[in-house]
Structure 1
Amino acid sequence: MSKADTCIVIGGGVAGLWTAWALADSGINVTLLDAGKVGSGASWGNAGWICPAQTGPLPEPGLILHGIKDLAKQDSALHFTPSALLRMGPWLAQFARYCNQRAYDKGVEALTTLGYPSFKLIEQLGLDRHCDKTGVMAVAKRRSDVEHFVERLTLLTALGQEPPGEILSGDAVQDVEPVIGRGQSAVLIKNHWQIIPDRFTAALADEVRRAGVTIVEHQRVSSFDAHHGIVHAVRTAEGAHAADCVVIAAGAQTADLTRQLGYPMPLIGGKGYSIDVVPTRMPKQAVMGLDTHIAVSPMGGQMRIAGIMEFSTSPETIAKPRVDALKRSAANLVGSWTKESVPWTGLRPVAPDGLPLIGRLAPASNVFVATGYSMLGMTISPAAGTFLARSIIDGDDGATGPFSPQRFRKRHIQM
Structure 2
Amino acid sequence: MPLIVQKYGGTSVADPDRMRAVAENVAFTRRHGNDVVVVVSAMGKATDNLIQLATQVSATRPGREMDMLLTTGERVSAALLTMALHDLGIDAVSFTGSQVGIITDTAHGKAKIVEVKGDRVRQALADGKVTVIAGFQGVSTAKEITTMGRGASDLTASALANALSADACEIYTDVTGVFSADPRIVPQARKLKRVSFDEMLEMAGAGSKVLALRSVEFARNHGVALHVRSSFTWEPGTWVMNLDETDEPGSAAVEDPIISGVVTDTTESKVTVLGVPDQPGVSAALFEPLAAANVNVDMIVQNTSTDGTTDISFTMPSADMAVAEEIVRRVAGEIGATGVTHDDDIAKVSLVGAGMKSSPGIAAKMFRTLADKGVNIEMISTSTIRISVVMARDDLELAARSLHTAFGLDSGADYAAPLPERR
TM-score by length of 2: 0.24
Bigger Rg, which one: 2
Q: TM-score, normalised by structure 1?
A: 0.25
Larger RCO (CA under 8 A, 6+ residues apart): 1
